[in-house]
Structures are given as C-alpha cells and as structure tokens.
Amino acid sequence: MSGFPDPRLPSWLIQNSVDIGLVLALTYLMLLVIGERRTLWMVRGLIILMLAAVISHKLGLTLLSFVLEKLVLGSAVAMAVIFQAEFRRFLEQLGQGHLLQLFQRRSPAPKPDNVIDEIVDAVKELSQNRTGAIMVLETASTVDTRVFVNGGVGINGEVSKELIQTIFQPKTLLHDGAVFIRGSRIVSAGVILPLSERTASRQLGTRHRAAMGITERVENCICVVVSEETGSISLAERGLLNRPLTSSKLKELLEERFSPSVEREAVAPGLGRFSLLLEPVVEFTSSIFKKKK
C-alpha cells in the first residue's frame, strides 16, 4: 500500500496554499494601508520573526520559540501603536465593505498652478530679502500632525504670496516656526518640527535640520526652506536636501512632484500583479457587504 499516493495530499496542499495566500494578502493590505516605504522593512522584519518562531517550534526549541513568540507579539503591538491612525482607517474601510479602495494607487494631491505660483513667488522674494522661511507641503496622503513637536497656531487660510510673506516677517510672532500647507490652504503657522539627528554641514542652520528631520519621519511631505543668512532656496524630501535652487527650478520640481500623471513609487514592490489577482475577490466581498446593508 506504500506505493500508492497519500489521498490526503491534495487537501493538504490546498489548505497550505490558502493559508499562505491569505497571509500574503493580509501583508499586502498592511503595506497599502500604511503607505510608507520605510515600513516595508518593519513588516519584513516582523515576517522574519514569525517564520523563525514557527521553525523553532517545529524543531522543538522550546526556549527559543517562547522568546520569538514574545518578540512577535511585542513587535505587532508596537506597530499597531505607531500606525494606529492607518489601522483605524483600515478597520473603518473593512467594516464599510470598501476594500477595493485599499488597492487604488495613491498619487500626490494635485495643486492648482496658481497655488504653486503663489508659493514660488513668495519664496523668490523671501530669498531676495534674505528672510528665513520653512514650509511643509503635504503630498500623497494626510500628514499626522502629532509628529510635530508643536502644532503651532491654526490659520486655515488660502495660500497666497502676501500671507506667506507676512507670516515670515522677522517682527511677527510666528516667523521662527514652519508653515504647514495642505492642498491650497495654509493649515497652521509657527509649527515646531523635529530636528534631524544626522551629522549635517555647518553651513546648514536649524531650518535645514528641521526640514531634513520632518521628511525623514514623514514620507508624504516635502519641505521648502529659505536660508536667512544666504537667501539660498532648498527642497527637502525623504531626509535629503536639494540645494541651492533657483526659483524657476523650484517651480519645476514642485510641478513635477504634484503632477497627477506622475506615478508614485510602489509601497510594496513586485506585488502589482498580486493586487490584480486579488481585485475580483475584493469586489465580490465588497458586494456581499453592500447587499447586507
């Protein structure tokens, strides 16, 4: 009887294939919800810990298995705390049956040409007058303002050259902080940003270190800086400074950065086809939720 194949083998393969597929789907959803490339390494680290825990359990390494299981649990809790806003949005969409929205590619929020013009014109004059300034511009998704050291003072005004110049006048109370811009509105001013811990050039002041610091911690924003000492213009993104820039080069970079036709870098590289395979399943699940409503 040993020469005959095990009749349970097909069911075992199906069960394990479904199990692995569901884990991959859940991992991919987590990457889409969080939406930041730096978290890809965190998720990979968590998966490695999980695999190590399973292997140690299968090999009978009791103590190692116990330690790894505790590490997995602690890492999962830490990620849930760090990305609580993203997970809350995921649970809301899951409960509403809007799963398909999670697979839609995110693109930078397009800014009207006049908004970019207003920002560039303000930066140009601030540069000529050697008036220090720093502006945080929200891009692909909502910035969690809790990352700011101090949220500043609410403005909620339309972006304009005059308003930006007024805020950064040395005699105003808000000139030392940053301006936070979302879409076509100035959300707040006098914002205190976290400083970068990198070793920077002595030529770079506090504003440049703050621009590097916020873009290191938050990928869905860019930062425009005007040096108070030299009047030079800089653009910070992902912790890196592009400097010195002319006003025309700044405008070109902003238009490129906020162009809706520019496809953003994939959060989960190599899984694009996987998302296409999942879309029919997601549509079917979403339709079930809607019918129940």
Buried b (16+ CB within 10 A) or exposed e, 53-91: beebeeeeeeeebeebbebbeebeeebeeebeebbebbe
Amino acid code (one letter) for 215 = T
Q: What is the largest CA-CA distance in the chain?
A: 92
pLDDT tens, residue by residue, 157-195: 899 999 999 999 988 888 889 999 988 889 999 999 988
Percent of the chain with pLDDT over 90: 20
pLDDT in tens, 226-239: 998 888 999 998 88
What single-letter DSSP state applies at residue 246? -
Pick the CATH number of 112-259 from 1.10.10.520, 3.40.1700.10, 3.90.79.10, 3.40.50.740: 3.40.1700.10
Return the domain boundaries, the chain.
Answer: 11-103, 112-259
For the beta carbon of residue 150, count every other beta carbon within 10 angstroms. 12
